[in-house]
Amino acid sequence: MSALICGSLAYDTIMVFPDQFKNHILPDKVHILNVSFLVPRMRREFGGCAGNIAYNLKLLGGNPIPMGTVGQDFGPYREYFEGLGIDLSRVKVIDELFTPQAFITTDHDNNQITAFHPGAMMRSYENHVKDVPGVSIGLVGPDGREGMIQNSAEFAEMGVPFIFDPGQAMPLFNGEELRAFIEQADYVVVNDYESNLLQERTGWNENDVVSRVKAYITTRGPKGAVIHTPQKSYDIPPAHERRVVDPTGCGDAFRAGLIFGIEKDFDWVTIGRIGNLMGALKVEHPGTQNQRFDFAEFNEQFKQQFGYSL
């Protein structure tokens, strides 16, 4: 079984400002804002929703195929993923553009200033879901607008079950377009803020969404997750982390667990627990792809937390 994960592969440049932004920004002068922050600490991480989900699914022993468009600078990311045995045959390089990248500056209060350059992601429509054989499940994640619409339609036309994960891309779509995504999808996954925004944009309440999909999944950070199905709703408590280092990418780790559990045809409580434990293991490490374990190690953690093995 292969999971086709449509979305961004990106570089995240993360910088730390050893002070507070508010000490250097004059509220009455924001209309002529011109500031510079010295950032002595900086790291560059591999990221992007499709990249993060693929990485986490591979840790579980899954067979992810990330699909996206990248730029001339993708070389280090390619080398890294090829070393992990992740199939990059559906990642297209646009030579005249850069790979998507986020530049994130964080201050001592954990406030963030972020600039995101979409680069080659804006041409994600040049890839086609229908060109990929042997796909058992798909995911349509944050990506270029046209690419997301195309990927969703092609999954539906092919009869491949897929997850709609709008994430940060939700503002790109109006209510009618979001309703079309939901009608085509088998599963919808959002965080609690995105859930409220999705309902506001579509004019559909929770029951309206649930009636159109197999499951409507809402992640709630340290509070766990809620999984609504047409038959029943499940409140899934969080897994226990040993330490909290960096929550960035926890949602993507959860989604990898969701895909893995659906592929294995587990019950919804087990699927939710897999997702929550993936998020907990991620939060213990900085960045989005620095946690290391294999399925046997994950299964042992799962048994310790929930009392049974997968």
Q: What is the CATH number of the domain that holds 53?
A: 3.40.1190.20
In the structure, how many helices (H) and strands (E) does the chain have? 9, 13
pLDDT in tens, 139-164: 999 999 999 999 999 999 999 999 99
- Answer yes or no: is pLDDT of 27 > 90: no
- Within 8 A by CB and 6+ apart from 245, the residues are 283, 284, 285, 286
- Within 8 A by CB and 6+ apart from 207, the residues are none
- Answer yes or no: is pLDDT of 110 > 90: no
117, 148, 204 from 170: Cα distances, Å: 17, 11, 15
Backbone angle region of 10, left / alpha / beta, with phi > 0 → left and psi within -120 to 50 → alpha = beta
d(CA 273, CA 241): 13
Helices 250-263, 49-59: axis angle to 10 degrees equals: 50
Domains identified in the chain, total number: 1
- Answer yes or no: is pLDDT of 25 > 90: no
Q: What is the mean pLDDT of residues 117-126?
A: 96
Q: What is the mean pLDDT of residues 200-222?
A: 96
Q: How many residues does the chain have?
A: 310
Q: How confident is the model at residue 293 (pLDDT cuts 50, 70, 90)?
A: very high
The predicted pLDDT at position 58 comes to 98
Q: Is 15 domain-assigned?
A: no
> Which residue range is the domain that position 141 belongs to?
2-9+48-99+119-306
- Answer yes or no: is pLDDT of 74 > 90: yes
Q: Is 274 domain-assigned?
A: yes
Q: Is 233 domain-assigned?
A: yes
Report the Cα 33 to chain-centroid distance in Å.
33
- Answer yes or no: is pLDDT of 35 > 90: no
Is the Cβ–Cβ distance between 229 and 215 less than 8 Å?
yes
Q: What is the pTM of this model?
A: 0.93
How are strands ordered across the β-sheet holding 101-106? Answer: 41-47, 10-16, 101-106, 112-117
Tokens of 217: 């999944």
pLDDT in tens, 44-62: 999 999 999 999 999 999 9
Q: Is 292 domain-assigned?
A: yes
Q: What is the mean pLDDT of residues 244-255?
A: 90
